[in-house]
Chain A
Amino acid sequence: MLAKRIIPCLDVKDGRTVKGVNFVDLRDAGDPVELAWNYSRQGADELVFLDITATHERRKTMVELVKSVARQINIPFTIGGGINEIADADALLNAGADKISINSAAVRNPAFIDELAKAFGVQFVVVAVDTKSIGDKNIVHLNGGRIPTEKETLDWILEAESRGAGEILLTSMNHDGTKNGFDNGLLKLVNDAVHIPVIASGGAGSVQHFVDVFEKTNVDAALAASVFHYGEILIPDLKEILRQNNIEVRTIAE
């Protein structure tokens, strides 16, 4: 049976892992490769690296970081941040990344999704969507939730799927950093509407939040950062509780 995935997210800036509360107020939480290795040993199923500064600074993505991770880590990982052209994606693929995550580049140029899927296959293309509610609508936002777009979240996700996204990473900016739980209402709506895997992000504060998101929405994976980085939730404990709730998770070799 396909296991639900637990994914620590490592926000990286200047080669160091950081995690902001609502993406502002950055705090340092360590060396990304060492953290990644630790997470793989604890039983993380996958890792996501996001260069959170790339959108502002137009910094090219972290080929060297990807190589160091691929050399040392035996689980899959995704890299995102500042990927604007095929050549960026090609370099990251060749450096050992399993998937790339694109966000604002796809919103600005939706055909970029088609190009990536055609060049590398849909399994390589994760479309990350930052959503925030405005009135009673869920609206796609850019730049860590600062800039609203014209796009309604579900419409955009369905368009991304039809263009060749292989997976959706959905972050609720209303929930991110609050530790009050995932946005289960929106996640269920999205997960029921698409036929590709969905990763839930934003709001994880307790083990019960992970149980809830899998039970209430049936998403494929749940992502979190600070609760893992600061040891508030330990992955082996989390998986044990999920298992006790009859949620399929991966057991690792001793």
Chain B
Amino acid sequence: MIGIISYGAGNIFSLTAALERLGIAYGMIYNEEDFEQHDRYIIPGVGHAGAAMHKLEQTGLIPKIKSLTKPVLGICVGMQLLTSYSEEGDSKLLNLFPIRTLRFKDSPDYKVPHTGWNTIFPEKENPLFKNIPSGSHFYFVHSYFIEYDTTYTLSSTNYNSQFSASIWRDNFYGVQFHPEKSGKYGETLLTNFSKI
């Protein structure tokens, strides 16, 4: 059963609705004991990365999260929290990935927020993207992105330049797009995560 880490950063109605549609069992995680009841975890998040990090710190769950060995999936800001740093609020983050979250630079050539359906290209073999063709569209809405890194980027997307659409290190995963809003392929990704 998936445990959704509750720390007050953004609504999870759409995420839980998607899990219910897919018949994937889930529960909520409020304290350290709750981790034992679950075999994988989702860190959700919308809004300001610095504010989200502050809320996560207040739960006291950070040492436990960093020590997890079961699969963990961060979504959107929940993914950004896994990195070392965000330009949003000049914030130090969990540093489970030694890469940074940066703002899309102002430019006349593209718009910010990066809003809509963009193509993702898996760069490594991983069950998270099973049955999802390279070049499939996923739904993004964000002004900050995780830099591209040959070691940690699991799939990439091109907007102003190449960035991390998803990251992977051991049991830790993050996706910048919203699988719960990304049509059938998003649902496939959530199902894949429930089986990793």
Contact = CB atoms under 8 A, between A and B. Distances in A.
Grouping DSSP codes into helix (H, G, I), strand (E, B) and loop, the A interface class, with mixed when no group exceeds half, is loop
B115 A123 contact: yes
B137 A95 contact: no
Interface string B147-188: 000000000001100000000000000000010111111111
A222 to B, nearest CB: 12
A67 B13 contact: yes
The interface size bin for chain A is 35 or more
B192 interface: no
Contact of A74 (B111, B112, B181): B181
Given A1-B158, A40-B183, A123-B141, A45 B116 contact: yes
Please classify how large the interface on chain B is, using the bins under 10, 10 to 19, 20 to 34, 35 or more: 35 or more
Which 6 residue pairs spanning A and B have beta carbons closest together? A253-B184, A96-B13, A250-B137, A250-B117, A3-B117, A123-B141
A121 B180 CA distance: 19
Interface in A90-117: 93-96, 98
Interface in A1-34: 1-3, 5
Contacts of B143: 122-123
Contacts of A148: none
B108 A70 contact: no
A71 B115 CA distance: 22
A95 B181 contact: no
A71 B19 CA distance: 10
Given A2-B117, A71-B20, A252-B183, A94 B139 contact: no
